Structure formats: C-alpha cells, structure tokens
Amino acid sequence: MNELIGRVFHFEKSIFPAHGELFGKLTTHGQEPKALMISCADSRIVPEQIMQAQPGDLFVCRNAGNIVPPYATMNGGVTSTVEYAVAALGVRDIIVCGHSDCGAMKALSDPAGLETMPNVAAWLRHGAAAEHIVSSCHGDLDGKERVRAISLENIIVQISHLRTHPAVAAAIARGQMTLHGWFVDIHAGQVLGLDGDSGEFVPLREGRDLPVALAARTRIATEFAEAAE
C-alpha cells in the first residue's frame, strides 16, 4: 500500500498540474465519454491503458468475468451503469471485453472450490451458456484451450444479455448503438474483436476496418410489418 500511496502523491504533485486544463474542462463541462467498456475486474487488465484513454474518454464498468446480467427489475450495479451510460450520457458504443487466463472463466470451466464462494458461483451462472456451448460443441478441448474458448463464447453471451436492456434495445432500434466484443490476449499483447458478420474474433489492426459485433443501423422491420397489413 505504501507504494500505491506514493503514486497518489505523484498524481497530486505532477500528473494533475500537468493536465490542469483537461481536468478544468471536465469539471466545468462534465463528462462526455466516447464509449462504455464492460471489462473484467482482473488487475492485469486496465481498460484505460489498453485504449490509451484520457480522463473523460471512457466510461468503465468492471466485474468478475465481464458479466452483463440479463435485464430484470432487480437493481444491480451493471444494469444501472449501462442504463446511465446510454440514457444519461448518450454513449453510442459499448464494448464487452474479456481476456486470456481469466480466473472467472477458469471457474466456469471447472467449478471445484466454488462451494466456499456462493456469491461468486451465483454470479458466474450468468456465463453458464458459454460453458455449455463449449462443452456441447467443442468437447475435445481441455485445459487452457477450453478456458480460452469459454472466454470467447462468454463475450458473445454477455452481448446477447446486453441487448435485453431497454435503453440499449431502444438505441439499437434507432440505429444509434454499436456493440463490440473484445478479447485481450495478455500473453501476446494483442486485442481481438468480434466480427458479427463472420462470427470470428479477428485482430484489431491499424489501417483495417474495426470489427464490430453489431453495427449501428436503423431497424426497419416494423415499417415492413405495417406495409404488409
């Protein structure tokens, strides 16, 4: 803790004065983050570092396993964060970000030991579909490969849950929301993005189009339904 406290002093003495204009603007005008990132609470994954974000750039929600529970009337931190980001801050891009060597995904793969952590076990049930997909469709995988596959499937599952949230669903219908699924390989220092068209996770590369899980487009199904009547 002494080392961390020393960094706080460094922020007060050096970092804050050097960025006084930026902090002053944020204090006066408030925040207008460019995206909401829902990432794992793992200490090795720092969303702001990955995106090289400045204060005010990124709205962040972190939890074990980058989980997004399906929408329900029961209040929760993730649900409230998503609702506030979309409805109050007008965020139009949401990133669900998983990573390699994830402890939560290891627990999904092999729940041994969760008996002493009932809250963790209950929380991880929101990722049960990911484990079931891998067990049913890729039963030959084991060890690290199985955990990686569950981690990737979990991103897709949580994006599906995200779409059940009313604020997100409405923004999607208006063509004002883009959803992203990212996977950070902390061993390779590489970020993969979910291509919603191909269903594949592909490396993010400079000079290439950004792969998106769900591109922003106005929904026209209702218009066609009315015309058919």
The yes-or-no answer on residue 40 being catalytic is: yes
The yes-or-no answer on residue 97 being catalytic is: no
- What is the per-residue DSSP string for 82-104? HHIIIIIT---EEEEEEETT-HH
Burial 99-119 (b: 16+ CB within 10 A, else e): bbebebbbbbbeeeeeeeeee
Q: Which helix (H) or strand (E) holds 168?
A: helix 166-173
- What is the per-residue DSSP string for 174-229? TT--EEEEEEEETTTTEEEEEETTTTEEEE--TTSPPP-SB------HHHHHHHH-
Rounded CA-CA distance 175/189 in Å is: 33
Q: Which of 61, 62, 97, 99 is catalytic?
A: 99
Which tokens is 3 given?
A: 């080392």
Q: Which of 61, 102, 146, 180 is catalytic?
A: 102
The yes-or-no answer on residue 44 being catalytic is: yes
The yes-or-no answer on residue 61 being catalytic is: no
Q: Which of 44, 174, 187, 219 is catalytic?
A: 44
Q: Which helix (H) or strand (E) holds 38?
A: strand 35-40
**Catalytic annotation, residues:** 40, 42, 44, 99, 102
